[in-house]
Amino acid sequence: MGGHDVLPDSCSPLMASSSRLKLAPFGSNLSRGMTPTFGEGSIERLDWRQQIRIARAAEAAGFEAIIPVGRYRGYPDDSAWSWESYDAIPWATGLGAATERLQVFSTVHVPLVHPLKLAKELATVDHVSDGRCGINIVAGWNVDEFAMFGITQIEHDDRYAQAAEWIQIIERLWVEDEPFDFNGQFYTLHDAYSEPKPVQRPRPPIMNAGLSPAGRQFAAQYSDLIFIAAHDFDGLRALAADVRQRAADLGRHIEVWSTATLLCGESEADVKRRYEYFVHETGDWASAEAFVRSSLKGGTGVEKTLTREMFEKVVAGGVGPRLIGTPEQLVETMDLFTETGINGCAVICFDYERDIEMFGDLVAPLAEKKNKEINMRILNTYKKTLTISKRKKK
């Protein structure tokens, strides 16, 4: 099976961005977002006006995209994660109409949406947003949620074989002008055709999360961006190098992203106080444990010992390095992500509005100043090299 061509930088706002570390709010379409906490400031109940405020705050703060989570059920009503959730596709359509620059992604589970239907839906999002749609592919995940649809997950590596057929069909529908037949292992289509085509040509950007070898290989072959996760920067560096090499072997380039909890404070004491409040004082540890147990059902089958550290990581937004600190500390951590080979972070917040606005007010100006200094040093080094080269020629 062939892979996708590399998207030109001019294809979309996200791919065209020159930011050293691209940022996108992640999971704000869920009540409580990605953090099961009862803390004041978290998204207690979904409110469309707040969704617009979060997206516009991100746009004002210089973020490049916004990415939803695809979920269909939560936990009991007395938990923080009772999890109201806006469906990702109409959510992206609405935010595409309410913003001007953000790349608005839809997160889609392959087994739940037919590729012919999705091709038309996402083309519609792309027209509404004037060419700012993106797709985040999930090959499989939550066993309990799939069961609601009467679907049993297939074997892990086979999920990516299905996803490969699925995305091939979608791309053909987006770029081919004549109807076509498709006869694969998972899909059979006759006289398939879809109009209108997306505004973005040849197609909107594609991303997926991939930690397993099969997931990383799928990303290397079909995606423009991949989410990876590791416990530390060394782990991120190794995974980033691996997936980039896989893409290079196929003649492709891929951006590597991670997720990171964003919590900004004007002082270290303020940062510590807010973390303690959201995680240890108001965190819903029972929901965190339920989440870990549910997620492991759809895993590789490897037995894992559940620990309190696992549950704290869920309450705090997940594993790996975080963007938690003062403005100066956040700029330093952003540099570490970049030096590790990470192109972007999908950021998770306890309080999306507050922390995104604070990032825009206090962190973004510091980051921009530092980027200008770095660019100036690079330019001066280039000028010196050029001068030395001219002297040698004389």
CB 38 within 8 A of CB 315: no
pLDDT at 389: 55
Note the pTM of the prediction, 2 decimals: 0.90
Q: How many alpha carbons fall within 13 Å on the CB side of residue 67?
A: 34
pLDDT of residue 166: 97
Non-local (6+) Cβ contacts of 379 within 8 A are none
Rounded CA separation 279/111 (Å): 34
| Between 123 and 310, the higher pLDDT residue | 123
**pLDDT at position 82 over 50:** yes
Distance CA 67, CA 328 (A): 26
9-393 has CATH 1.20.1200.10 classification: no
The predicted-structure confidence for 39-75, as pLDDT tens digits, reads as follows 999 999 999 999 999 999 999 999 999 999 998 887 7
Predicted pLDDT at 164: 97
pLDDT over 50 at 334, yes or no: yes
Spell out the residues 6+ positions from residue 394 whose beta carbon is closer than 8 angstroms to its own: none
* Per-residue model confidence (pLDDT) at position 293: 82
Give percent of the chain with pLDDT exceeding 70. 90
Structure tokens at 147: 């069961």
pLDDT of residue 143: 81
- Tens of pLDDT, residue by residue over 358-378, are 999 999 999 988 776 655 554
The answer to whether the CB of 348 falls within 8 A of the CB of 261 is yes
Distance CA 381, CA 394 (A): 20
- Computed over every residue of the chain, the mean pLDDT equals 90
The tens digit of pLDDT for each residue in 258-304 reads: 999 999 999 999 999 999 999 999 999 988 988 888 777 655 444 57
In this predicted structure, the answer to whether residue 3 has a pLDDT above a threshold of 90 is no
**Could you tell me the pLDDT band of residue 305, with boundaries at 50, 70 and 90?**
confident
Please write the tens of the pLDDT for every residue from 133-180. Answer: 999 999 987 788 888 999 888 898 899 999 999 999 999 999 999 999
Under the banding of pLDDT at 50, 70 and 90, the label for residue 13 is confident
For residues 9 and 35, the model is more confident at 35
Q: Is the dihedral of CA 30, 79, 292, 234 positive or negative?
A: positive
Q: Read off φ and ψ for residue 190, nearest 5 degrees.
A: -120, 125
Tell me the pLDDT tens digit for each residue of 213-245: 999 999 999 999 999 999 999 999 999 999 999
pLDDT tens track for 104-125 = 999 999 999 999 999 999 999 9
Per-residue confidence at 1, pLDDT binned at 50, 70, 90?
A: very low
Domain coordinates in residue numbering, the chain: 9-393
225 closest CA partner among 135, 302, 102:
135
Work out the pLDDT band at 10, boundaries 50, 70, 90.
Answer: low
8 Å CB contact between 66 and 346? no
What does the pLDDT average to over 328-348? 96
Overall average pLDDT of the 314-337 stretch: 95
Question: How much is the average pLDDT of 311-317?
Answer: 94
